Copies of this chain bind each other. A is one copy, B any other.
Amino acid sequence: MIYLDHAAATPVSQKVLQAMKPYFTDDFFNPSAAYLPAKKVAADYETAKGTIAHAIGAKANDLVITGGATEANNLAFTALETELKLHSGPHRSLPSPRGSRAISRAAALRNTPSWSVNSVLYLETEHDSIRAVAQKYSGIAIKVLPNGLVDLKDLKSKITDETILISMSLVNNEIGTIQPLAEVSALVKNIRIDRLKRGIETPIYLHSDASQALNLLDINVARLGVDMMTLNAAKIYGPKGVGALYVSHDVKLQPISVGGGQEQGLRSGTENVPGVIGFAEAVCEAKEHLNGNRKKYANFKKILLSELENYELINKKHSLDNFVVLCYNGIDAERLIYLLEEQNIYVATGAACAASKGKKSHVLKAIGLSDSQIAGSLRLTLGETNSEEQIHEAARIINSVVSSEKERLRNG
């Protein structure tokens, strides 16, 4: 099997599985229990959180562990609920006397909260989990350039005094584009200074979903200037069902689930100890092999681009080394997937979740591809399961499958 869909899912590494095992069977205690073995489990859990946090230049307390990246993304957007609470409670009048407020008076008078259209800005190429939650808060999309990077002009034009949250993935999950977050955060910082000067209290936060980034980019939240960042164990050879949200001290969130008060009250429920231990081990492995892996995947990509024939490369620049997005114009990529599968090669057309619903990729559309180009696009994402031999083999088989498909179309 040649698996080229590491952006959709990664296997749990042997080291991660070994690290998790004792916490399933021997150190299974409830971290909230009063006796020593349980307190040891609680301490190991905190240490693991610290390891994950340290990898992005943060501390254990800055992280809220969640049931995955989607939940972390949803949690990030509760910053808007905090604003809603602040400005619609019985003790505060609305609009605030000191400045512009993001929640419309009309919305406050209805019971279903509604938002000024500029409260939330998100990149049009975001993953479904951001798009869905952004739309819940009436968010509007920021355009990207044909190279996949954020259109900073469009972003600037859409930021108003009502804007509370900007959400922009560090690495796009379909084409691997790495966004210039530091540039965006510098812009956000200037807006903060300007609002302060003008007595406008509405905060503005930058959130970034870094699910795809942690094992190939050296991430530091302070350097990037993000206020919140989503992490995902399942994309970096850790277990499914575990994610985390980095939250800076300035941001106040609302819990999605209430209960026992775990995770500083932001995410109640008995801690998924094995999951977090595995997440931490996956982070360690990612950091250890960061440079080696980047070189390896850059080399794999080079091999593919030189040995593959008659393709158009979609993600030419600004992209993570393990993303290779190819277009075979005039060919149905869905058919290619099945033909490649018969040869034990597994690739994707768009995001996995989008793929299963037969939707056209909104990302490829956003960067300006035609319907026919989109229909002919394959996403190859390289990873730990691949060897150099596999890459040569994959190039050979893809060439052969594509050319026989072209032959079939000519004769059909």
- CB of A240 closer than 8 Å to a CB of B: yes
Cα distance A5–B259 in the bound complex, in angstroms: 20
Contact of A35 among B270, B346, B357 (CB under 8 A): B346
User: Do A109 and B112 touch (CB < 8 A)?
Assistant: no
Known A67-B241, A74-B256, A110-B88: A268·B129 in contact at CB below 8 Å: yes
Query: Is the pair B239, A242 in contact by a Cβ cutoff of 8 Å?
Result: no
Contacts of A218 in B (CB 8 A): none
Contact B70 A257 (CB under 8 A): yes
Give the chain B neighbours of A71 by CB distance below 8 A.
Answer: 67, 257, 269
- Total A residues in contact with B, Cβ cutoff 8 Å: 84
In the complex, residue of chain B having the shortest beta-carbon distance to the beta carbon of A110: B88
Query: A196 interface residue, CB < 8 Å from B?
Result: no
Copies of this protein in the assembly total 2
Flag if B11 contacts A24 (CB, 8 Å). yes
Q: Mark A350-371, 1 if CB is under 8 A from B, else 0.
A: 0011011100000000000000
Taking CB atoms, residues of chain B closer than 8 Å to A29 are 5, 8-9, 346
> For A348, what are the chain B residues with a Cβ–Cβ distance below 8 Å?
33-34
In the complex, chain B residues whose CB is within 8 Å of the CB of A240: 270-275
- Evaluate contact between B17 and A5: CB separation under 8 angstroms: no
- A272 B107 Cβ-Cβ under 8 A: no
Report if A93 contacts B (CB, 8 A): no
Q: Is the CB of A33 within 8 A of B68?
A: no
- Residue on B with the closest CB to A67? B67
* Distance A363 CA – B273 CA, assembled complex (angstroms): 27
Given A272-B241, A274-B240, A24 contacting B17 (CB threshold 8 A)? yes
| A25: B residues at CB distance < 8 A | 11-12, 14, 17
- Which residues of B sit under 8 angstroms from A295, Cβ to Cβ? none
- What 0/1 readout, one digit per residue, does chain A (103-134) give for beta carbons within 8 Å of chain B? 10001111111000000000000011110110
* 23 residue pairs bridging A and B, Cβ less than 8 Å apart: A8-B38, A9-B29, A9-B30, A9-B38, A11-B25, A29-B346, A33-B352, A34-B355, A37-B346, A67-B269, A70-B257, A74-B258, A88-B111, A88-B112, A89-B112, A107-B111, A108-B110, A109-B109, A129-B260, A129-B268, A130-B259, A132-B258, A132-B260
